Amino acid sequence: MTAAKREPWLLTPGPLTTTAETKKAMLHDWGSRDEEFNETNARVRRRLLAIAGAQDSHVCVTLQGSGTFIVEAAMATLIPRDGKSLVLINGAYGKRMAKILDYLGRSYVSQETPEDTPCDAGVLDQALAADPAITHVLVVHCETTSGLLNPVEAIAAVTAKHRRGLIIDSMSTFGALPLDVKSVPCDALMASTNKCLEGVPGMGFALIRRAAIEPAKGNAHSLSLDLYDQWTAMEKTRQWRFTPPTHVIAAFDKALDQFEAEGGVKGRGGRYADNCRILVGGMREMGFKTLLPDEIQAPIIVTFLTPADARFDFQVFYDSLKNRGYVIYPGKLTVADSFRIGCIGALSETEIRGALDAVRATIAEMGVADRAPGNG
């Protein structure tokens, strides 16, 4: 089979490449009130709690939709209407949480750092000491905008010291980077099926501290996004309140089998770290520059700065890589022209080396002799 004929490898932050076994799990139809489906659903919820060591302290609440739906739902459910949030922002997903608070009409302040700078636990410490009205801190684990890793352990320690609630958007890290609620105490962390657990898109989930969800009745502004109602109904009936994404859940259950067989977070994160190292090494050899230094780069997605050479045109680059069987991602930075290549999904060394060969052939074809960015 030639590269152009096979399905392309997705080097994107999700939806991402899934295995044939995961896709095959969707070749059935399930009744949403059927006991066999209910058992799959319950098993998935149990397994998600176990990944974060959260079986005793947290509950797992699942919700239809993309990642933003579960982020919005968790915020709407857990932050009381008279609560005040502090949002740590260094990219698009931190900004999105602030935008959600605007929609919800809930009070907040933000602490913004540049897109290549992790948020600062020391500055957070001072802000929490200075403002006792702040009830919740909101942080993104890996800012997928750039691939930057935020120091969630330090943020969690400071937030716990001040006895405020912490809500973590761990969309692009859950399952690949360690995030145990015993060492990273939090009221909630949210993620979705189609990231590091390598399921298909369509469902989000939140692991919520029992003590935070129990008093949350009546906080949500929206019936469909009310995770208190979703949780209590599912506990009572084992069923979803509204039509569940049955195929997504069945595929996710199979994806979780493969996650466990790979050695859980350690195995999955190890493969992604190898992917990232090989990718960055290969791109640097060709003269490309990463936005981030290695110390703050999460092994999830890597931002490369656009070469200054006028012969580099992102659309031509993208189309040529796609024709060779590799789909990459445009940049999302406000500060610099860039493009992104993902390390996550059912990919390993062979696919990453294949992608590097495709980049090499493409830039040679485009005649991009100098791959350095503007002032590089």
Ligand X SMILES: Cc1ncc(COP(=O)(O)O)c(C=O)c1O
Question: Under the rule (CB under 6 A), what is the footprint of ligand X?
Answer: 13-14, 66-68, 71, 93, 140, 144, 169, 171-172, 192
**Smallest separation (angstroms) from ligand X to the CB of 143:** 7
Q: Could you tell me the smallest distance in angstroms from the CB atom of residue 24 to ligand X? A: 23
In a 13 Å sphere around the CA of 96, the CA atoms on its Cβ side amount to 14
Residues 6 or more apart whose Cβ sits within 8 Å of residue 137: 85, 86, 88, 124, 128, 155, 159, 164, 165, 166, 167
Q: CB of 179: closest distance to ligand X in angstroms?
A: 13
Nearer to ligand X, 68 or 219 (CB): 68
Collapsing DSSP to helix, strand or coil, 120 comes out as: coil
DSSP string, 6-27: SPPEE-SSSS----HHHHHTTS
Instruction: Supply the minimum distance, in Å, between the C-beta of residue 290 and ligand X.
Output: 18
Phi, psi (5° rounding) for residue 358? -65, -40
Write down the least CB distance from residue 356 to ligand X, Å. 24
Q: Which is nearer to ligand X, 67 or 199 (CB)?
A: 67
DSSP alpha helices (H): ranges in the chain? 20-24, 35-51, 67-78, 92-104, 121-130, 152-161, 210-213, 227-237, 246-261, 264-285, 314-323, 349-366
Three-state secondary-structure class, residue 85: strand
| Residue 38 or 170 with smaller CB distance to ligand X | 170
> Which of residues 38 and 62 has its CB atom nearest to ligand X in the complex?
62
The torsion of the CA quartet 63, 66, 67, 69, rounded to 10 degrees, works out to -60
For residues 59 and 150, what is the distance between their CA atoms, to the nearest angstrom?
24
Dihedral sign for Cα atoms in the order 138, 142, 148, 149: positive
Q: Which residue is nearest to ligand X (CB)?
A: 67
Q: Which is nearer to ligand X, 115 or 362 (CB)?
A: 115
CB of 4 to ligand X, least distance (A): 27
Comparing CB distances to ligand X, the nearer of 140 and 189 is 140
Neighbours of 154 (CB within 10 A): 17
Residue 168 pairs in a beta bridge with 139, 189
Torsion angle, alpha carbons of 171, 149, 10, 29, to 10: -20
CB of residue 238 vs ligand X: minimum separation in angstroms?
26
The nearer residue to ligand X, 78 or 358, going by C-beta atoms, is: 78
